[in-house]
Structure 1
Amino acid sequence: MSHIKTRKYAPRVPMLATATLAAGFSPLGALAAEVDSASASASATAMGDATELDKVEVRGSWFAPSSQKFTATLLDTPKSVSVVGEQTIQEIGATTLVDALRMVPGITFGAGEGGNSTGDRPFLRGFDGQSNMFVDGLRDVGSQTREVFALEQLEVVKGPSSAYGGRDSGGGSINLVSKTPKLKDETRISMGVGTDSYARGTVDANHVLGDGIAARVNLLKHDSDIAGRDEVNNSRWGIAPSIAFGLNGPLQLIASHYHLETDDLPDAGGFPYADPVAKTTTGRPLVPDRNNFYGLVDRDFQRTRADISTLDASYDLGGHKLRNVARLGNTSNDYLWTQPDDSKNNPNLYGTLWRRTNSRAIDTKTFADQLSLTGAFQTGALRHSYSAGVEYSEEKSSKGSYVLGGGGTNNPLTGNQACATTGAATGYNCTDFANPNPHDPWAATHPVTRSDKALDIEQTTVTKSVYAFDTIELSERWLLNLGLRWDDFDTEQVTPVAGAAPTVIGNADTFLNYQAGVVFKPTANGSVYLSWGTSSTPPGMDSGEGNDAISAANAELEPQQTRNLELGTKWDLLAGRMNLTAAIFHTEMDNARVTIDNGTTRNAGRKVIEGVELGINGQLTRNWNVSAGYTYMQSELKDNGYVCSISSRTGCPAPGVWVVSPNNGNEFPNTPKHAATVWSTYRFPFGLVVGGGASYVDRQYGDAANSKWIPAYTRWDAMASYAVQDNISVQLNVQNLTDRVYFTKAYSSHYATIAPGRSATLSLNVAF
């Protein structure tokens, strides 16, 4: 029998089968599992799953990604890919995307400010991935805080991945896989309460309507405060209905809609960087009391909305599959929140803090269509597993802000941001650093209005793409994986000017990217691979939402190009119950956008990151499950261009004062050298499951100068569940078990975001 088990449609590990595994994910590769009928039945009983699971049997199958662009099982895919399953999300008590990804080493999260919208902003291998988010394989460009109530799994592709998804920042991408109907009547209800006013309810109901026809609906209501933080709270609700036809035949059609609304008092600010000894605004965040909230209850808000409609049609041609996915998306993100200021060094000089505001009112509308053909064929002695397709997308964003009346947020006593005093005389724009009052009556004298929509900045991006992937079985032991993608990218930004012609800038370019890898299989259950991949980052790829926004300085530049070389190995052990993964990588962006010696922006910089990733995941015994991962990343700004020798926020004030960047040789921001996670559970024969885990993240710098940072930390979590009967279970989760004070996000200049304190939740889960 051939060692190679390449399949375009790799067998998916059933969602419930992952209940026997501790976390259901591998930080570096994807899950492999062998579940016999006895252990599957025990898992179903312990977690309140249906007893139909007794018939499930999975033989050494890697947890399959949903994307049809993967033309081999993950065991034989020459790429670092992580899959986080639904069972994992439930076990660790995750409710948001950030929660679900916190135990995947190599991913950190950045903070928002004026140029970066407040929302999900993951960093993958040191590169900002805010614009590299996908839902069911189609790019999701609107900034938002994403939920998990309607997700089947999360998929993380690490390293440059433009061959898979088009424009890319260089670090990888994250794909959210939605729940869809299945041919099985099943309803799951979860109701949870906890500390800090936590209350959450979800419903996942699937019903067979007829021959090959099924409908599914997911519902959510969530309200909570934030542990260890004064005043802050979250409130959201969502609904995700879907209906499928032809699930038992060659022609299938799935129609779905996703709706989520949030209404929060946001806590994006945290604490400013300040060195109380040197009296500077550098160093680590200064925290007089972790509970301090420097915002204003009567002013701050964040409201988001997401509406995403998808039509997925496919036809099985017998060995080949034709599929078309079309989507309409409409998202909005409106907020006004308080950023703790450090620009005037108020905490050190006066023991005060300036309440700076950041605001955004952005609407994003998208249309995307992907037509693909997948399957397998043979040419002589060579077997091919292929995927080819075309894509079209159109994104339109409209960006405004909120206008603050009554003198704005400057201190009227000084006319600027210096805060020698606090209180009403400062318009409540200055507050006590040690004892802020979030109930100051700021709004009474400072009306807030939406900016004139006629002056909103409009950006339209159109992308046309063609791609092809092929996994070729060269022999019993050798595989060749090839991928190629061509993109035609065109973006235009229009900035209205009152009483004058609008300012129009744009960028249009084409770029070709590829993924190539060779896989050697010493045995059927192992692989060793060497791969090479690229990515392109054009100006304006983020629709004006982040670091890659288009501007007059970069509009005419070519895309930044990133390359990655990776050597790795993946192994199925213990009859498929345990997976081991290891990889070393070298990623290089050699034409990064930087300022050159005449003050203009050019593709002249160079950034390099290299590292090691290790992972172990699966069952040490039938009842003991372990998942652990480690990432080492050594990053360096090889050439960061030139900087003005005289500090100025508006540019260099005089010619001839550009000097070589003193940041050359520094580490990337938001890139810890070391990160590690572990999660383990043990299942007792009487229905009790106990588990716990830890995550360690090394120091992260907030800025390229490496002068501002958040310290290293270790966080511990614990859980326990008990099966009251076959279809009813209770689950207790304790997050941040030791109540550790640590920071999760480091902004480049002003502040860092503090993590929640210890919290506990108790959930009742019912399946029928």
Structure 2
Amino acid sequence: MTDLKWSTAQALAPTRLLTSTLGVAMLTHAVDAAAADKVADAPDDSRRRAHALESVRVSANTYTSSSPKFTASLLDTPRAVTVIPREIIQQTEATSLQDVLRTVPGITFGAGEGGNPNGDRPFIRGFDSESSILVDGIRSSAGQQREVFDIDQIEIIKGPSSAYGGRGSVGGGINMVSKAPLDAEFLHANLGIGNAAYTRGTVDWNHRIGRDSAFRLAVMGNKNHTADRNGPEYQRWGIAPSLTLGLHSADSVTFSYYHLQSDDQPDSGIPYNNPFAASSPNASLNGNGKPIRVPHNTYYGLNDRDFQRQKTDLGSIIYKHSFDSGWVLRNSTVFSRFANDYVWTQPDDSQGNFLVNGGVWRRANTRSSSTTNLTNQSDLTGQFDTGGIHHSMAAGYELSNENTSRSSYRISPSYTGALANGACAIGQGAAADYWCAPVISPNPNDPWQGELAKGLNPVSLSTRTRSLWLFDTMEFGPMWALNLGARYDDFRTRSVSHTSASGAVSQARNHASFMNYQTGLVFKPVETGSIYANWGTSSNPPGVDAGNGADGLALTNDDLKPESSRNLEVGTKWDLLDRRLTLTGDVFRTEKSNARVNTAGRGSDQINAGKYRVDGVELGFNGRLTDHWNVFGGYSYLKSKLVEPGPGVANAGNKGKQMTNTPRNSFTLWTTYAVTPALTIGGGAYVMSKVWGDIANTKWVPGYTRLDLMASYAVNRNLSVQVNIQNLTNKYYFDKAYAAHYATVAAGRTGIVNFNYQF
């Protein structure tokens, strides 16, 4: 393969871009650090050119998942897997998990409320994956809003995958891989400024200690408003030190700590225009089901009342021993604590005041929760031969204990949203203590002077999981491989709920044991191509969220069996053009059976009687079209259907309807072009079709196309400047849909200038 004409032996060689089904993996951090060492010893002119290249273009390189459960390269893994490295995070100016996942077609986001916490809620292939997010292979409990300042890459596995991630994982799972100490010396600092009061600074420092140890420190401070939203404000800071002893030894241990703290003014969203049931005398006032038509900057929140404060603390110890035979034993012990505290405005709660009384009820959704998680996980990986079969095996166990305490806020004075005698019936503004806002031009600075008190309706939950798993890739010569995996989980969860008004106490508990499997057959007609068939399963028990998510344990479901899902998938992956370009594709069917459905509407008893189905096609392309032009992206087609809604009049009308948050079509593209050794230009396109908010297909948000631009210029070997324009056309679109009441408005046009310093 021919390198770029201005590259040197010390520069980052543009080999190939390999990844996953949707292809977004590029240069690895480890390769980056190794190249940095070589650059340090190069002549000054070579160093200058190398640093220029490093700062302005995306080089391609073979990349793999961090999970030991993947016992083959991604090219030969019979599953749809996407790896997003830090270069994409940096180039797209992504600062949150949601920002990063936007680059992957087939992923959408659901909105939170009170019972369903306001945090990250991704949907993968149409299925809620809020409780299927891992950090360094360990489950990340609780609904939270995750930062990426200490993240090296993000891995997404698609389709039912409880064999890999345990409970949940119906649509797939997400693993966030943290930065770790390297055998290198570097300092990367970034300062970003932009419109909407955007200011962000990060530092990433790695330092060798002697010959066999290293220390790494990541620090972040961020403050911004949401462009053209007239109210939401976000500020946070974080720090993440880590220390590795024994970088090159048979025995190594890594100590790490992560702290993130935020103090936000959350967005309140826009209500749907059809709040009334068909049986309501006001039903004729309903619109077609999309959010009401108001200016983009319409914000119904109250600055004097609303807030969201989150705090995450995570400490881990990872011990690794490498045997002379090549086998590796790793043990991870992780303790985490996450707190989520908020009061935020949910606009009108489907009461219809904006149609009858001319105002929007500022309902207060509240939550005060704390979740702790102690996990110990071990895995053993290695290779061996039996006869003519080569085995790559991984085995392990996981022990975890999660505990959640949560309650709501008591607010006084408090007003309802009732049409006849609620806040908006009394009047807008001071008449109802600002609990009712005008539909157009609401004032977030209205002087609310009520009182807040924690402790309303407290709930405590405990969840215990014990798991064993085994994976093996068996190679029958150069053309055939069989991938097998299995995982056993013993899952126990228990909740105790107190009703403050009556003093009543209720208890719920669920115990489930389940096996899940992964089977894939791979045919390699040539070394650079594979064709595969895959079958995988997942189990989703009541209380899968450990008390802090959208799928909780309750008296209405505590006696039910886990939901069961399976995925049948056929796909292919090819490295072309001297391994410079990767093309991928797959066709799949995912079915969830034994699904929990309400017997008489929302909040009623549930039974295992539902069935959901998604048929889909995914295409991916990634790599270098020329020596200067990098491109990656993907397309997703999802045909979803509620096959069996369950018994009862309330469910009968939903049969055959589409699933929520499941776009029929979605497309993503990110591309960069190195105009000169110092100047790179690029851009992105994100296209998504209409999605339904509710299973009855009466609430929806329109499809959209968002365009982004980027340009980067290397001033010298230490300093580069990057400019990003996100949502170039200032598109008014919605990026989260809730089932019943509202949708969240995406940011308007945002311009950011970043100054990147590296040494």
TM-score, length-scaled by structure 2: 0.92
Flag the 1:582–1:57 CA change in 2: closer, same or farther, 3 A.
Answer: closer
The structural deviation recorded for 1:93 is 0.6
Aligned to 2:185: 185
Decide whether the 8 Å contact of 2:24 with 2:632 is kept in 1.
no
Q: Which amino acid aligns with 1:573?
A: L
Alignment identity in percent?
44
1:442 aligns with 2:448: yes
Superposed CA deviations along residues 530-562 of structure 1, whole A, max 9, x for unmatched, are: 000000000001022333211111101100000
Superposed CA deviations along residues 208-253 of structure 1, whole A, max 9, x for unmatched, are: 0112110000000001111011021100000000000110111111
Superposed CA deviations along residues 696-745 of structure 1, whole A, max 9, x for unmatched, are: 00000000111110001000000000000112100000000000000001
1:285 partner SS: coil
1: CA distance between counterparts of 2:743 and 2:701?
7
Superposed CA deviations along residues 165-193 of structure 1, whole A, max 9, x for unmatched, are: 11014100100000000111111000111
TM-score, length-scaled by structure 1: 0.91
1:676 aligns with 2:648: no
2:289 partner SS: strand
The structural deviation recorded for 1:24 is 8.9
1: CA distance between counterparts of 2:59 and 2:286?
62
1:31 aligns with 2:30: no
Aligned to 1:242: 242
Superposed CA deviations along residues 371-390 of structure 1, whole A, max 9, x for unmatched, are: 11101000111100000001
Decide whether the 8 Å contact of 2:270 with 2:744 is kept in 1.
yes
The structural deviation recorded for 1:28 is 1.8
Aligned to 1:561: 564
1:393 aligns with 2:375: no
2:714 partner SS: strand
Q: Which amino acid aligns with 1:260?
A: L
1:339 aligns with 2:341: no
Decide whether the 8 Å contact of 1:78 with 1:518 is kept in 2.
yes
Decide whether the 8 Å contact of 1:108 with 1:671 is kept in 2.
yes
Report which stretch shifted further, 342-351 or 274-283.
Answer: 274-283
Alignment of 1:158-173 (within 5 A): 158-173=158-173
1: CA distance between counterparts of 2:56 and 2:429?
64
Flag the 1:660–1:195 CA change in 2: closer, same or farther, 3 A.
Answer: closer
Q: Which amino acid aligns with 2:653?
A: P
2: CA distance between counterparts of 1:575 and 1:22?
8
2: CA distance between counterparts of 1:126 and 1:113?
20
2: CA distance between counterparts of 1:72 and 1:197?
46
1:731 aligns with 2:751: no
Aligned to 1:509: 512
Q: Which amino acid aligns with 1:353?
A: V
Aligned to 2:695: 704
Decide whether the 8 Å contact of 1:110 with 1:670 is kept in 2.
yes
2: CA distance between counterparts of 1:266 and 1:219?
24
Decide whether the 8 Å contact of 1:136 with 1:176 is kept in 2.
yes
1:427 aligns with 2:433: yes
1: CA distance between counterparts of 2:54 and 2:356?
66
Alignment of 1:250-289 (within 5 A): 250-274=250-274, 279-280=285-286, 283-289=289-295
2: CA distance between counterparts of 1:470 and 1:395?
30
1:68 aligns with 2:68: yes
Q: Which of 697, 722, 746 matches 2:737?
A: 746
1: CA distance between counterparts of 2:26 and 2:575?
7
Flag the 1:26–1:479 CA change in 2: closer, same or farther, 3 A.
Answer: closer
1: CA distance between counterparts of 2:708 and 2:216?
32
Decide whether the 8 Å contact of 1:62 with 1:74 is kept in 2.
no
Decide whether the 8 Å contact of 2:507 with 2:555 is kept in 1.
no
1:163 partner SS: helix
The structural deviation recorded for 1:63 is 1.5
The structural deviation recorded for 1:393 is 0.4
Aligned to 2:104: 104
2:431 partner SS: helix
Decide whether the 8 Å contact of 1:24 with 1:87 is kept in 2.
no
Flag the 1:597–1:333 CA change in 2: closer, same or farther, 3 A.
Answer: closer
Alignment of 1:427-506 (within 5 A): 427-443=433-449, 446-451=450-455, 456-497=458-499, 502-506=505-509
Q: Which of 643, 654, 657 matches 1:638?
A: 643
2:200 partner SS: strand
2: CA distance between counterparts of 1:101 and 1:447?
38
The structural deviation recorded for 1:415 is 3.8
Flag the 1:542–1:38 CA change in 2: closer, same or farther, 3 A.
Answer: closer
2: CA distance between counterparts of 1:692 and 1:315?
44
Q: Which amino acid aligns with 2:758?
A: A
Q: Which amino acid aligns with 1:750?
A: H
The structural deviation recorded for 1:343 is 2.5
Flag the 1:44–1:673 CA change in 2: closer, same or farther, 3 A.
Answer: farther
The structural deviation recorded for 1:497 is 4.9
RMSD: 2.9
Aligned to 2:6: none
Flag the 1:47–1:83 CA change in 2: closer, same or farther, 3 A.
Answer: farther
Decide whether the 8 Å contact of 1:30 with 1:74 is kept in 2.
no
Alignment of 1:86-125 (within 5 A): 86-125=86-125
Q: Which amino acid aligns with 2:111?
A: A
2: CA distance between counterparts of 1:403 and 1:120?
25
1:382 aligns with 2:389: yes
Aligned to 2:623: 618
Aligned to 2:223: 223
Unaligned runs of 5+ in 1: 1-15, 644-657
Q: Which amino acid aligns with 2:195?
A: T
The structural deviation recorded for 1:23 is 9.8
Decide whether the 8 Å contact of 2:302 with 2:345 is kept in 1.
yes
1: CA distance between counterparts of 2:47 and 2:580?
17
The structural deviation recorded for 1:431 is 1.1
Q: Which amino acid aligns with 2:442?
A: P
Alignment of 1:288-437 (within 5 A): 288-318=294-324, 319-406=326-413, 408-410=414-416, 414-416=420-422, 418-419=424-425, 421-437=427-443
2: CA distance between counterparts of 1:239 and 1:636?
44
1:761 aligns with 2:748: no
Q: Which amino acid aligns with 2:217?
A: V
Aligned to 1:589: 592
1:642 partner SS: coil
Decide whether the 8 Å contact of 1:20 with 1:43 is kept in 2.
no
1:84 aligns with 2:96: no
Flag the 1:494–1:766 CA change in 2: closer, same or farther, 3 A.
Answer: same
The structural deviation recorded for 1:342 is 5.0
Report which stretch shifted further, 579-588 or 18-27.
Answer: 18-27
The structural deviation recorded for 1:442 is 1.5
Decide whether the 8 Å contact of 2:52 with 2:677 is kept in 1.
no
Flag the 1:305–1:18 CA change in 2: closer, same or farther, 3 A.
Answer: farther
